[in-house]
Structure 1
Amino acid sequence: MALSYKARRRWALVVLLVGLPLYILAAVVLVSLFQRQSFLVELLIYVGLGVVWAIPLRFVFKGVGQADPDAEQSD
């Protein structure tokens, strides 16, 4: 089931405003559960987690920055 352009824009906004801060909080709590690692190890963990959140949601963000393809073209 494909999402419409407007639905993708709305879901992208929800993900960025609600889901991403919750994901960041969960990542920080998860990393803090373990013994403190070196700076480079923590950096790699955070970079990895920063990329991982977007992979399953890439279909929501695809084409959101473009003009609405269903909108009426005006000359």
Structure 2
Amino acid sequence: MALSYKARRRWSILILVVGLPIYIILATVLATTLVGFFGDSALTFILQLLVYIGLGVAWILPFKSIFLGIGQADPDADPED
């Protein structure tokens, strides 16, 4: 079942306003915990950077279909609007 443009728009706003801040907090805790196992070294910074980049890309993958076309005009709207 495909979502309408208005439903996708509402879901995208909810994801960005509520879900993304929660994800950022969880990703920070996860990255800090993972890097904490390796102690202090030059490798720690690189590992932490890679973890943040990976988590920064991974959050959008499940929501890709919701965000596609949201910046475009409503395809279901009348051309007069």
State the TM-score, normalizing by the size of structure 1: 0.91
Correspondent of 2:74 among 64, 68, 73? 68
After TM superposition, give the deviation of residue 41 of structure 1 in Å: 1.2
Q: What's 2:10 paired with?
A: 10
Output the CA distance in 2 between the equivalents of 1:38 and 1:30.
14
TM-score (norm 2): 0.85
Matched letter for residue 52 of structure 1: A
The corresponding residue for 1:43 is 49
* Larger RCO, structures 1/2 (Cα 8 Å, 6+ apart): 1
Q: How far is 1:33 from its partner?
A: 2.0
For the aligned residue pairs, the C-alpha RMSD in angstroms reads 1.5
Residue segments in structure 1 that go unaligned for 5+ positions in a row: none
Number of aligned residue pairs: 75
Give how far 1:74 is off: 2.1
Distance 2:26 2:56 in 1: 12
Q: Which runs of at least 4 in structure 1 moved beyond 2 Å after TM superposition?
A: none
Give the number of the structure whose alpha-carbon radius of gyration is greater: 2
Distance 1:4 1:52 in 2: 25
Higher helix share: 2
Gaps in structure 2 of 5+ consecutive residues:
none
